[in-house]
Structure 1
């Protein structure tokens, strides 16, 4: 294992440990209150974005093997799933919960605000960590001014379609596995995320999370703010909601076809 990879893994481990300790400190005394929900979203989204930044740096600048990058993506997704403690970490996911009336509108908006605040904080935090120069990769990235270029390597419509399709596929797996035990479900969702990164990573980076995209992609050169908004914000929302609407429609159809037909009461014979 190279020194750059070892340093990045150390950063990832540190982010997860610090986030977990912070979650326990912030949520523990406030368990059962509304503040615990928002604290969980802040910390968990911060963890997700910081880890994504480091993995993106390893892949884009460090040039690690694609198979190794996918392995790290899968492991990171599993760890996030096991440590989030009910946090959603994805504005599209919050909208899905709100659509199903699991969250009031005000709570949903506040959760989304927490997610974007954490995304912005993560972007600033990783630059501070990279500035320490823990590895040659970090030093090289610092010398370049932490610059990044857009990962979008396709037409506008194709890029939007890829993000929509990735979000659709992942949400479909989330919906299909909601009855599984959490320890099994996180692996199914992580496998879906990794598959989508493999399929769409070379086209858009396969982010399909508006908060993570805001943290990792919006500061990159190559595309306009409006293009980023459409590709990384609107498309994933449309993809997830399309999956949810289709799932609800299929469930309703299956329920109707499996229900026994209504049999009218037989009339009594007159004597």
Structure 2
């Protein structure tokens, strides 16, 4: 189990390092018009790919909850610190559209980029898992990369949890400027970790439509419309 955890952490670190290298290259080589889309795509890929591995550790690796929450906090801090302004969340883009800070065309392109990156993340992690770098990956491959349904309550309860989590994150985002700049990523990561702890057993606590699309929609247990209700409508209402 310890070896599986080390390999998974190494895989996650590799994803972050490669993604950061691409972001920095984009910053140097791409014009601002294209840079925003590339950074959004790479950051969304990083978020989804890392979450796939963390989800695998929790479901098949059966890591202890305190280890899982610690990894959630660390990775949340890393993501926030490396995203370079990317939202990686369609609900945030919709909010910007409603506030008039982005155009309908720009919002549509960014959301399409996010979902495309989420799909790429699915195939990328499956390709890495197929290498059998750890016993955990080998077992997952033998099971046909089958994932488990995290919804532990009714659909209404799960949607309510996703909505409440999204509301809390939005409220924090609106007031995070009051926190010292050096502590902002840690404050956000602490809230994310708490929400995962509080609501994870009911809905999985994704509160991000594109992240749920990448990591949860391929799982058995519920239909696509039901997943859309929980993981798309819930966060938007929040």
Normalised by the length of structure 2, the TM-score is: 0.97
Q: CA deviation at 1:100?
A: 2.1
**TM-superposed deviation, 1:153:** 1.3
Q: How far apart, CA to CA, are the structure 2 residues paired with 1:234 and 1:178? A: 28
Unaligned stretches of 5+ residues in structure 2:
none
In the TM superposition, what is the alpha-carbon distance from 1:56 to its structure 2 partner?
0.3
Cα distance in 1 for partners of 2:91, 2:54 equals 22
| Residue 27 of structure 1, CA deviation | 3.0
Q: Please give the alpha-carbon distance, in whole angstroms, between the structure 1 residues aligned to 2:62 and 2:181.
A: 33
Corresponding residue for 2:144? 145
Distance change (3 Å), C-alpha of 1:216 and 1:124: same
Unaligned runs of 5+ in 1: 240-271
Residue 13 of structure 1 aligns with which residue?
13
Shift of 1:151: 0.8
Larger Cα-atom Rg: 1
Matches of 1:202 and 1:90, distance apart in 2: 22
CA contact (8 A) 1:27 1:39 kept: no
How far the C-alpha of 1:181 sits from its partner, in A, is 4.7
Aligned residues: 238
- Show the 5 A alignment for 1:1-271: 2-31=2-31, 33-239=32-238
87-96 or 48-57, which moves further after superposition?
87-96
* Range moving further from structure 2, 103-112 or 15-24: 103-112
Distance 2:146 2:41 in 1: 25
For residues 91 and 24 of structure 1, what CA distance do their matches in structure 2 show? 23
Output the TM-score relative to the length of structure 1.
0.85
Which whole-Å deviations, capped at 9, do the CAs of 1:80-124 have from their partners, x for residues lacking one? 111001111111111122222222221111111110000000011
Give the secondary-structure state (helix, strand or coil) at the position aligned to 2:130.
helix
